[in-house]
Amino acid sequence: MRHLMSPLDLSVEELNSILDLASDIEKHPDKYAHVCDDKRLATLFYEPSTRTRLSFEAAMMNLGGKVLGFSSADSSSASKGESVADTIRVVSCYADICAMRHPKEGAPLVASMASSIPVINAGDGGHQHPTQTLTDLLTIRSLKGRLDNITIGLCGDLKFGRTVHSLIEALVRYPNVRFILISPEELRIPSYIREDVLIKNNIDFQEVERLEDALPDLDILYMTRVQKERFFNEEDYVRMKDFYILDKQKMKLAKEDMYILHPLPRVNEISTEVDSDPRAAYFRQVQYGVYVRMALILTLLEVKLPC
Ligand code: CP
């Protein structure tokens, strides 16, 4: 039985095979419409979500399966003090696979150790968000035709932004990927990513503060929101929240074939006037998230694929 806690749980071959399957699902959705007719997905969300929870549920429904779960800790017995370990033991009796989001780093890992069904980390605190990374990889590969030989700018809250941590861990395994890390001093990437992932693997990266300085070099710009829920005080959040605002004027500095990604939700960091720019790919990214979660469910459940 396989769980997914971080992109590092998958080899590059496995990552590529999930992306290939997702692309086939995009082209031939009917072929996969009943492959999970007898399967159930549980979504255990202890923290708010729109995309991740609903795309998991849409993914399972597209495969013919059923879904059950809860969308907040308040509406589950966690509010009465039940542990994630006990909860997953119970849910293992109701479902074949589970996606769990939790505000505490490592909670899905704890659940996986007590589980008799595959557990997927759907975001744990400021740590990891591996299925957003699968979404991001599929989006980049579909739009640029490759995952190697790219310069990617990651901009915003690189300290608490779990999507950024997971994406870096995945992309460093592809050849000649260069990172420009754009953040204010207080929101720089954590040292475990800088030291243990980038420096240790001899990856080409630079840390800058001004988005305008990085924009002309980028093939991909990955914008992120300042993670209000991870700040200890409101004052620091208010000071940081509008540090970056991508607008039409700044987009004049970018290449014609640069794409903008964002895991969403967006607050102010991308002006809505940018949405009509053909390089704005963040809503296309949402659709890729459904295909790739379908592919992941099939892979972890080891479902026999149609020819
Ligand atoms: N990208 C993402 O994780 O969005 P949600 O918080 O809406 O799931």
**What's the whole-model pTM score?**
0.95
Exposure class string for 158-195: b at 16+ Cβ within 10 A, else e: bbbbbbbbbbbbbbbbbeebbbbbbbbeebbbbeebbe
Q: Which of 40, 102, 129, 162 is catalytic?
A: 129
Angstrom distances, CA of residue 206 to CA of 112, 196, 284: 36, 15, 28
- Packing angle of the helix pair 130-144, 51-62 (nearest 10 deg): 70
Domains identified in the chain and CATH numbers: 7-128+289-301 (3.40.50.1370), 130-286 (3.40.50.1370)
Residue 51 appears among annotated catalytic residues: yes
Q: Supply the pLDDT for residue 237.
A: 79
Mutation choice for ligand 1 from 44, 49, 101, 132, CB with most ligand atoms inside 8 A = 49
User: Is 129 designated active site?
Assistant: yes
Task: Point out the catalytic residue in the list 51, 141, 159, 165.
Answer: 51
Q: One digit per residue, pLDDT tens: the chain, 307 residues?
A: 999 999 999 999 999 999 999 999 999 999 999 999 999 999 999 999 999 999 999 999 999 999 999 999 999 999 999 999 999 999 999 999 999 999 999 999 999 999 999 999 999 998 999 999 999 999 999 999 999 999 999 999 999 989 999 999 999 999 999 999 999 999 999 999 999 999 999 999 999 999 999 999 999 999 999 887 777 788 887 888 888 999 999 999 999 999 999 999 999 999 999 999 999 999 999 999 999 999 999 999 999 998 8
How far is the centre of ligand 1, averaged over its atoms, from the C-alpha of 240 (Å)? 21
**Active-site residue identified among 80, 210, 252, 304:** 80
